[in-house]
Amino acid sequence: MHQPNVLLIVLDTARMDTVTSMLNAGDLPGLKKFADNGCTFTNAYANAPWTLPSHAAMFTGQRSSVHGAHAGHKQFNPETPTLAELLYNEGYDTLGISGNSWVSSEFGFGRGFSNLSMKWDRYWKGHDLSSVSRQSGVGKFKELVRAVSTREAPFSIANAVNAKILGADDFGTKLTTDRTVKWLRKRSSADPFFYFINYLEPHLPYEPPGEFVSQFVTRSDFESINQNPWEYIAGTAEMSKQDFETLMQLYKAEIAYLDKHLSRLYDALVDSRLIDETAVFIVGDHGENIGDHGLMDHQYSLHSTLLNVPLIAHYPPEVDSGKSEKFVELRDLYRTVANLAGISRPISDTVSNFDILEGDGRDAVFAEYRHPQPDMESLKKEVSELVPDYEKFDNSLRSVRTAEWKLIESESGDLLLYDSDDESVEISSDHPKVVSELSDLMDQEGIRLDRTAKEETEMSAASKQRLADLGYI
């Protein structure tokens, strides 16, 4: 059986409705190249609302309560083979570049990769210059001298620019694409490859390059708008409807900037004559609340703004072009890729057996939020003053969505029922039987709500700083 190359591209924090509206408006010509000859799934749902557990679901085909990587246990050490391990054992070259510290070898995601590099690494073996990028003025120059003198990296202007040392408005997308394009064009191996990319745009903070700001943002004082989600959630930062409209414009500008590099990536696949030999999956790992449901960022919620994500499958020999409305979960990518590689043996009963390219999809999609992140102690340290009822965020959550209904259930016993197409109006009191049936369905599916004991995870000082910069800790 012919084994295709597999390119898995994760657009960190991309929500389905925004990407769809931009595609329809002609604002994403790069993504359109993949979509025109690919299948766009309009009902693809993440199994968790943030990066660590969502990537773990894609890499294992399992739910958070099974693979065990979440805010209560931040190490990715599943018992089942990871997707990269599965493909490596079948003769695939396995490489990846990650823009998010959670998805790194430090947290266990290197399993099965011959090389999992990070966006701040200039070369595959890694020369971390991110410490330089956090400095300013004389401090930045001193830190650069220190990095060079200790041979952390060979000095070059390219290194300086790509590490954001000179203040470029880029979270690693350009360097990641440069390295990927170069690798594709110089590749000589006859073995198939599995190549994974996590692009950090459009994650908070929203800082798109100027040309994209001028294209999308209509407000001149946009830099003064609060981008600290925890201050807003805690009620200490007042924000207007116009503020959130402007944040959405900045969010769109970030996606448009990322799209510019997706276009380069598509062209490189064409130029390298790999476009018809490579199964490409472009997906968001979770969405974003931008004032939706009284929230910012992607925590404390299982609404569709966080779970409904873009998913495009591009592989002309096997994938019909067009749109699919069938329900799929991101963990289904595990089985889908395994089938394309000719790996038909079952892995475990806990692993998804759904192939998004076959059949009618799922009757329902489920998600779990095992532990709040940040936890309440971290939240108290982060914000200047907490609202009296801040402990409402101290909940694990689970959810189910069908063609008709959406139910979110919390550890504290709250039940939120919505019409599947409208999560702005809560209607549980009008449909108690539906609530009971959906809650029972989650029990039958094994969707967990109980919270396991939290385990402290050792991490490097550099990772702590990067994750703090992104608002995680």
Query: How many structural domains is the chain composed of?
Result: 1
Q: Which pLDDT score is estimated for 215?
A: 96
- The answer to the question of residue 365 being in a domain is no
Domain-located, residue 104: yes
Q: Residue 304: inside a domain, yes or no? A: yes
A 10 A CB-CB count for 334 gives: 26
Count Cβ neighbours within 10 Å for each residue of 187-199 and write b for 16 or more, e otherwise. Answer: eeeeebbbbbbbb
d(CA 44, CA 8): 15
pLDDT for 463 equals 57
Residue 145 falls inside a structural domain: no
Structural domain harbouring 109: 5-119+171-360
The whole model's pTM is what? 0.89
pLDDT of residue 387: 73
> Which residues are paired to 70 by β-bridges?
73
pLDDT along the chain (473 residues), means of 10: 92 98 98 97 98 97 94 91 96 96 91 91 55 46 47 40 48 91 92 97 94 96 95 90 98 98 98 96 98 96 98 94 96 97 85 95 97 86 77 92 98 96 96 98 95 68 60 56
| pLDDT at residue 379 in the model | 84
Flag whether 124 is in a domain.
no
Question: Whole-angstrom Cα distance, residue 162 to residue 127?
Answer: 12
Q: Whole-angstrom Cα distance, residue 40 to residue 138? A: 49
Q: Beta strand 5-11 with 308-309: parallel, antiparallel or unpaired? A: unpaired
Give pLDDT, residue 450. Answer: 86
pLDDT of residue 382: 78
Instruction: Tell me, yes or no, whether 217 lies in a domain.
Output: yes
Distance CA 50, CA 431 (A): 30
Domain presence at residue 52 = yes
Please, which residues have CB within 8 angstroms of residue 364's CB and are 6 or more apart in sequence? Answer: 327, 400, 401, 402, 441, 445
Q: Is 185 helix (H, G, I), strand (E, B) or coil?
A: helix
CATH of the domain at 70: 3.40.720.10
Instruction: Write down the pLDDT at residue 125.
Output: 57
Is 45 inside a domain boundary? yes
